[in-house]
Structure 1
Amino acid sequence: MALALGAAAAVIATRIDAVTMPQLDSEHQAQRKSAGDTVYLFVGADSGIERAATDIQRDTPDGQARADALVLVRLGDDGTASAVSLPRDLLSTDGYFGSIALALLDGPDVLMESVCSTTGVAVDRYVSIDGSGFVEAIDALGGIEVDIEYPLRDPAAELSIDTAGTQRVDGATALGLVRSRHGEQFVDGAWVSVSESEGARQRALWSARVLDGVRSALSDADVASLTRAVWSGSASLSLGGSLHPFELGRLARAELDIRELPAEKIGDGRALQMNEQSASVLTDAGFRTDCSLD
C-alpha cells in the first residue's frame, strides 16, 4: 500500500493545484511541531456542480468556488484520529464579511485564515476537491459504505435513497448526502420534511461520514483501484502543506472519531457563531484552539 500511495502521489503531483499555506507565528509553529499532531482541512468545493437556474449560488464567479463541505481532521503520532465537521454557515470572525464557506471565494489561504481565527485551529494540510472530481474518484473506488438511518430524498441535491441500513453508494449519491439541506426522511410510514436548521446539521455531519467512507475505501483499495481513483480526482484537487504518501497511509488506516461542531444561531437567518460548547467539542477531539497567524 505504501508503494501504491507513493506512485499515486507522483501522479497527483503532475495534475493538482498547489496551495500556499498561511504563515503561523514562529512561537506557535514551534509549539505545534513539538505536539506531534497533524491537522488537515478537507474541503468539498461547489465548482463542477450543475445547478438549477433558480439556485442563488448558480452564478459563482469564474475560477472561484464556495466550500460546500468543511471537515477538520486530526492525526496523532499515536495513530489516533478525530474529525470535526464545520457548518458552512459558521460566521467568520477575522474581519471577512460572511461565512467561512464564502471565504473560499477569496482563495484557500483566506479560508484557512478564517478557520484559524474563527475556531482557533491551525491547519497543516489542505485538501480540496470539486464536485465532479469527487464523484469520479468515489466511482473509481467502487463506491463507499455509509449507514443510512432512514430512507432519504432531496430533489434539489439529486438525492434519493430508498432503503435504510449500511449500504454502498456511488459518487453522485455521496455528493447528494453532503449537499442536501432541504431533504425528507421516511419515518414511520411517511415522508417527513427536515427543518432547515436540522438539514444544515445533517449536512455537516454527512460531510464527515462520507469522508470516513472514502478513507475506509482507500484503505481497502488494491493498487489498480487506488490508481484509478487518484487519476480520476487529481485534476480537481488542490493540495497544500506537503502531503506525504506514508502519512496518507496512516490516515487511511486510522479509525476516525467523528463529531459535528455545535454552533449558536444568530438572528433569524442561517448564520451561526461559535460558543463554549463549540470550543469544548474541538478540545475534546484533541484539537488545539490557540491558532495565531503572523
Structure 2
Amino acid sequence: MNGKKDKKSISKKKMAIIISLSVLAIIIATVLFGYQYFKSKIYVPPSDTNSISTEENKYKEVEGITNVLLIGSDGRTLDELSRSDSIMIATLDNNNKEVKLTSIQRDTLVDVPEYGEQKINAAFALGGAELLMETISDAFEIKLDKYVIVNFWGFESIIDAIGGIEIDIKDYEIENVNEYIGDSTETKSEPITKPGLQKLNGAQALSYSRIRSVGNGSYERSERQSRVLNEVAENLVKINPLKYPGIADKLSEHVKTNIEPLMALNYGYTIYKFPELKFEQLQIPQVELSSEENGYKDKGWVILIDKEQNAKVLNDFIFENKLPNAEDYDLIARENVFAKYRSDEKRYNSLYGIKPEEYLDTGKKLNDKDIQRTNTVDKAAEAETAKKEEARKIAEAEAARKEEARRAEEAATRKAAEDAAAKKAAEDAATRKAAEDAAAKKAAEEAAKPKPQ
C-alpha cells in the first residue's frame, strides 16, 4: 500500500475460504465432526500464564472489530517450535462489514520480550504463538489474544487433493523454485522447466510460495503466498462439496488455535451475513517506512522500520478503516529513526568487537547502500520541505492578492453607492427647487391679476 492495497468483492462462500484455510478447517471440522473432534484435534486451551503484556489495556480496542493472528509455521509438526514462515493479522470488521488481512514481514527487526532485538519471526521459535502475539502487540500497539497456527507442510497434501493450482511462473523464479523442491517439501517432484501459466502440484506450489531471494525479496514473497492462497480458495469453491470432509480432515492435522469452537462458528456466521464482502490487504512495514533488507549488528538480514509510523498505519487501517497515504509520512522523523539505528549499530559493533564482514560478507557494501538510500531520503525531504515552503509563499501571495482585490471591490462598491446617493440627492434637490420655483411663479401670477372692484 505505499499504500499497497487490494480491494475486491467476492462471493460469501469464497470469502469464508479466503479469510484463511485454517479458519475454514476450524468451521468445517466443527460442523462435520462435532465439538469433541474440534477440541481434541485443533483447539488449544489458553495457558495458565497470561502471556500478553500486563500493559495490554493501553492498546486500542474497538467493539465490533476482532483480530486473529494467523501464523504459518515451517516446522514439520505443529508441536515443533520453529520460526514462523508467514505472519498475518486477519481482521473481522463487523462495523464496516469487511475482512482485512495484514501481512507482517518476517524479517522485521523488533524487540522480543526477554530476548531483545530479534527478527519478528524468531518470537514464535522462542516462545510460540503467545510470545509472538505479545511481541506484535508491543511493537505495533495492537491487542492480540487469538491465534491460528497453520503448518505449511500440510499444504502439499491439500493442493494435491484439489488437483493442483495454476500459477504464472516467471523465468527468474524457476531456478529457486526447483532448489526448494525436496529440500523444503515432504515429497520430491518433477522440476519446473519453463516459465508461464502452468499447473503446480503440492510440492511445486509450496516451493513457489517459499522462495525469497529473487525479485523484491520478502515483499514479493508475501505476494506469492497470497497468490497461492487465493488459487487454493478458487479451486475449493469449484470442487465437489462431497470432498470437503476429507479436505477438512487433512487440514485439521495441520492447524492449531486457541479460538473456542463456538466462537469460530460465530466468526463464520458473521462473515456469512455480510451483504457485500470486501477483502482488503495491507503490508507492514510500509516500504517508505522501512529499510531494504540489510545486515545489522550481528542479527543477519533484517528490515529496519520506523515503528511509530508503521504502528499508526496499522491501527488506522484496522480501527479507522483508513488507507495509508505515502504523502502523510514524516520523512524527517523516519530519517531520525534510521540515524539512531546507524548510531546504535556503530556503538554495538565497537563494544562487542563485531566486524560487519564477519557476520555478513556484503555488510559494508549494503550498509553504504542503505546510508546512500537514507541520504537520498534526506535530499528528498529537504526538497519536499522547500517545495512546501514555496507553495506556502505562493498561497500567501495569492491570499494577499485576493484580499487586496476584495478591498478594492468593496471600495468601488462604496464609491458607486455614494455617487448614486449624491446623484439622487441632487435630483431630489432639483425637483424640490423646480417645485418651489413653480409655486413662486404661480403666486406671482396670482398677485399680478387685477383685483375685483
Q: Same fold (TM over 0.5)?
A: yes
CA 1:124/1:27 → structure 2, altered by over 3 Å: closer, same or farther? closer
In structure 1, give the amino acid aligned to 2:317: A
Letter in 1 for 2:46: T
Deviation at 1:92, TM superposition (A): 2.3
Aligned to 1:245: 265
Contact 2:52 2:133 in 1 (8 A): no
Structure 1 residues 80, 206: closer, same or farther in 2, change over 3 A?
A: same
Select the structure that is richer in strand. 1
Deviations 1:207-252 (A, max 9, x none): 3343444455555555433222221121221112325124236558
Partner residue in 1 for 2:204 = 173
Q: State which of 195, 213, 225 in structure 2 corresponds to 1:182.
A: 213
Matched-pair contact (CA < 8 Å) for 2:29–2:38: no
- Residue in 1 that maps onto 2:41: 15
SS, match of residue 93 in structure 1: strand
Equivalent in the alignment of 2:134: 113
Give the alignment of 1:112-151 within 5 angstroms. Answer: 112-144=133-165, 148=168, 150-151=170-171
Q: Once the two structures are aligned, what percentage of the paired residues are identical?
A: 22
Instruction: Select which of 317, 337, 341 maps to 1:285.
Output: 317
Change (3 A) 1:284 1:107: same
Shift of 1:182: 2.4
- The structure whose RCO (Cα within 8 Å, separation 6+) is larger is 1
Q: State the match for 2:72 in structure 1.
A: 44
2:88 maps to amino acid: V
Query: Is the CA contact (8 Å cut-off) linking 2:109 and 2:302 kept in structure 1?
Result: yes
Q: How does 1:61-80 map to 2 (within 5 A)?
A: 63-77=80-94, 78-80=96-98
Matched, 1:35 2:55: no
Deviations for 1:50-88, whole angstroms, at most 9, x for unmatched residues?
Answer: xxxxxxxxxxxx832211111112111043112121111
Where does structure 2 lack aligned partners over 5 or more consecutive residues? 1-12, 17-26, 182-190, 321-453
TM-score, length basis structure 2 = 0.49
- CA distance in 1 between counterparts of 2:119 and 2:303 reads 8
Mapped partners of 1:247, 1:133: distance in 2: 24
Residues 1:102 and 2:102 aligned together: no
Which letter does structure 2 place at the counterpart of 1:127? V
Q: Distance in 2 between matches of 1:30 and 1:120?
A: 5
Letter in 1 for 2:265: P
Name the CA shift for 1:220/1:285 in 2 (closer, same or farther; >3 Å).
farther
1:143 and 1:250 mapped to 2: Cα distance? 30
Shift of 1:89: 0.6
Q: How does 1:259-274 map onto structure 2 within 5 Å?
A: 259-261=282-284, 262=286, 263-265=290-292, 268=295, 269-274=300-305
Cα separation, 1, equivalents of 2:149 and 2:130 = 12
What is the rounded CA distance, in whole Å, between the counterparts of 2:154 and 2:87 in structure 1? 16
CA contact (8 A) 1:5 1:245 kept: no
The separation in 2 between residues aligned to 1:82 and 1:40, in whole angstroms, is: 11
* 1:123-166 CA distance string (max 9 Å, x none): 243111223222223333444565x373432133228484445x
State the alpha-carbon separation in 2 of the partners of residues 283 and 43 from structure 1: 20
Tell me whether 107-116 or 199-208 shows the greater mean CA deviation. Answer: 199-208
Change (3 A) 1:230 1:4: closer
Q: Could you tell me which amino acid in structure 1 is paired with residue 202 of structure 2?
A: G
What is the match of residue 432 of structure 2?
Answer: none
Letter in 2 for 1:84: T
Aligned length: 260
CA contact (8 A) 1:88 1:204 kept: no
Which residue in the other structure is 2:281 paired with? 258
Letter in 1 for 2:122: L
Tell me which moved more, 99-108 or 40-49: 40-49
Larger helix share, 1 or 2: 2
Are the equivalent residues in 2 in contact too, given 1:5–1:246 (CA < 8 A)? no
Note closer, same or farther for the CA distance 1:86–1:205 as it changes in structure 2 (3 Å cut): farther
**Contact residue 52 and residue 145 of structure 2 kept, 8 A:** no
Residue identity opposite 1:28 in structure 2:
N
* Alpha-carbon contact 1:5-1:249 (below 8 Å) kept: no
Aligned partner of 1:73: which letter? A
SS for the counterpart of 2:100 is: strand
CA 1:99–1:109 in structure 2 vs 1: closer, same or farther (change >3 Å)?
A: same
Taking a change above 3 Å as real, the CA distance of residues 27 and 273 of structure 1, as seen in their structure-2 partners, is closer
8 Å CA contact 1:71–1:207 kept in 2: the answer is no
In structure 1, C-alpha distance between the alignment counterparts of 2:211 and 2:310, rounded to whole Å: 23
Query: Which of 224, 227, 241 is matched with 2:242 structurally?
Result: 224
Q: Distance in 2 between matches of 1:164 and 1:138?
A: 19
SS of the residue corresponding to residue 64 of structure 1 reads coil
Cα distance in structure 2, aligned partners of 1:150 and 1:240: 38
- Which structure would you say has the larger Rg? 2
Distance in 2 of aligned mates of 1:19 and 1:161: 46
